Chains A and B, each alone.
Chain A
Amino acid sequence: MLYAILCYDSEQVTGAWTKEQDAAAIANLEVVQDKLRKAGRLGPVARLMPTTAATTLRKGKEAVVLDGPFAETKEQLLGFYVVDCASLEEAIETAKDLGRASSSNGCFEIRPLMLFKPGALGA
């Protein structure tokens, strides 16, 4: 079984870290990731840019683009895509395509990645 492990923390606190503190936190995590990678168990790893860089697409008859991250508590995270886009505009168009293909309501939060490692898992 594949498991996704999603990271949550206060962005305001991590944002108040010094560069050295941030690097130390990443280095500690890297040790664990390395072990998993060598065992062939690690899939993609991504670090997202802060939510200040996020844009949200609210699905519906007419999709609405909103600045900022997904903020509802009544909807839950169902899944995610990592897509290569030339611009935010293209990312929004891609999300709209995905939105049209699904009958549900809900949102897509579009968040640029700061770091992406494809990982060791095969297709």
Chain B
Amino acid sequence: MTDLAWIHAALTAARPQVLGALLRYFRDLDTAEEAFQEASLRALQNWVKNGPPRDPAAWLIFVGRNAALDVTRRQKKQTELPPEEAISDLEDTEEEIAERLDGAHYRDDVLRLLFICCHPELPATQQIALALRIVSGLSVAEIARAFVVGESAMEQRITRAKNRIAEADVPFGPPSATERAERLAAVLVVIYLIFNEGYSASGGEAHIRASLCEEAIRLSRLLLRLFPSEPEVMGLSALMLLQHARTAARLDDEGAIVLLEDQDRSKWDRDLMAEGLALLDKAIRHRSPGPYQVQAAIAALHARAQRFDDTDWTEIEILYGTLERLQPSPVITLNRAVVVAKVRGPAAALEMLEPLATRLSSYFHFFGVKGALLLQLGRADDARIAFDRAIALAHTPAEAAHIRLHLDRLAKDGASKRATSPAKQ
């Protein structure tokens, strides 16, 4: 690997920690970002010449902080000279910073940085955009591309989000244990949002954006290092690893969706799966189940099945039941219905769908599942209505194309009126 590639990886790796420390110091996101930018530029010049420092993060914090202070001083000089003691107050040594990095500050710095992206007033799309900009350091152009919007529109979105945060007044003191737990929970949600945006894009041409999935996994590993004993952090990491491992098999060469039952399992990434399973094993030892762990356990049962027919649906239905109790939501009930169809047949599953109809009236997957169940029951006309509705609600061309496949098959089979085929056991 070239020096430059190493430096870029080192800057990306150090970014959350350095930016978090600079934010605590300056209490202003723009100043912290500019300071990090300046420190990164100097690192590019200095590290190429002198080799990388032993502790890149401490180096960047020290240089970034001094660079920002220089700017402040220069601006002040134009108006008035600052009092002597104010300057000497700011002259900390590098050792002191390095020492502070070892402490709990580091953990809270990174958590705070992630947490400010999760402000409840921000819509989810802004939370994701902000986290990718601030924590991951993606350029506005890269984020705009990921969301398939214009660069200036994305710039505006991020600026608006930053302004709201500036008004929100996030406390900079060390958080209490309860605050820390609340922040962590909110941060996990944003990381999973980033992952899902990559796993099944909410718009645009590409159905999967692997780079967003990888970034979410990287952030979850960062959190795991900071909070090594939190089972839900392990659960989320495991869940994302297990899902991301299937990426290569989820679309065919033409970019069409391949359902789990038809996927070529030799294309699954066994390294990622093994890591996901190892993390789930760690989490389960804590005997403190949470929604991420249960979802990871479901993904693990799929990962462990050599062939689709080996899938332990009975166990998966039990896990979905647990998930419904932990986190009641119509989408989870819909997922359980899909499993019920495998275990007890399409009629039982369709019955579960009825009470969800109003709440999921604009949910693509609801109509996709409904159509498939009706089709299994031989109700072709009703199935067609559901599929038409699904197509109208599809987010990506791949989603629409997948439903159209069903419709085409329906059109072909239209005359034959096949009898109901029972669900595979």
Contact = CB atoms under 8 A, between A and B. Distances in A.
B5 A21 contact: yes
Interface residues of A, number: 27
A51 B228 CA distance: 10
Interface in A2-16: 10, 12-16
Interface in A76-123: 87-89, 112, 114-115
A12 B275 contact: no
A43 interface: no
A114 to B, nearest CB: 6
Contacts of A89: 281, 285
A53 B238 CA distance: 10
A66 B229 CA distance: 8
A53 B13 contact: no
B271 interface: yes
Nearest to B8: A16
A53 B275 CA distance: 7
B274 interface: yes
Contact of A55 (B10, B214, B282): B282
A52 B279 contact: yes
Contacts of A50: 221, 275
Given A21-B9, A53-B278, A68-B228, A16 B285 contact: no
Contact of A16 (B13, B229, B237, B275): B13
Given A10-B13, A53-B282, A21 B1 contact: yes
A13 B282 contact: no
Given A12-B14, A24-B1, A88-B285, A112 B9 contact: no
Contacts of A114: 271, 274-275
Contacts of B12: 16
Interface in B210-266: 214, 218, 221-222, 224-225, 228-229, 234, 237
Interface residues of B, number: 27
A13 B222 CA distance: 11
A52 B274 contact: no
Nearest to B271: A114
A67 interface: yes
Contact of A112 (B10, B218, B222, B274): B274
A25 B237 CA distance: 24
A19 B5 CA distance: 13
B363 interface: no
Contacts of B221: 15, 50, 52
B6 interface: yes
Given A53-B279, A65-B285, A15 B13 contact: yes
Contacts of A13: 6, 9-10, 13
A45 interface: no
A49 interface: yes
A112 B278 contact: yes
Interface string B83-121: 000000000000000000000000000000000000000
Nearest to A115: B271
10 contacts: A10-B56, A12-B225, A15-B13, A17-B1, A17-B9, A50-B275, A52-B225, A53-B279, A67-B282, A115-B271
Interface of B: 1, 5-6, 9-10, 12-14, 56, 214, 218, 221-222, 224-225, 228-229, 234, 237, 271, 274-275, 278-279, 281-282, 285
Given A24-B1, A67-B228, 13 more contacts: A10-B10, A12-B13, A13-B6, A13-B13, A14-B9, A15-B221, A16-B10, A16-B12, A16-B218, A53-B279, A65-B285, A67-B229, A114-B274
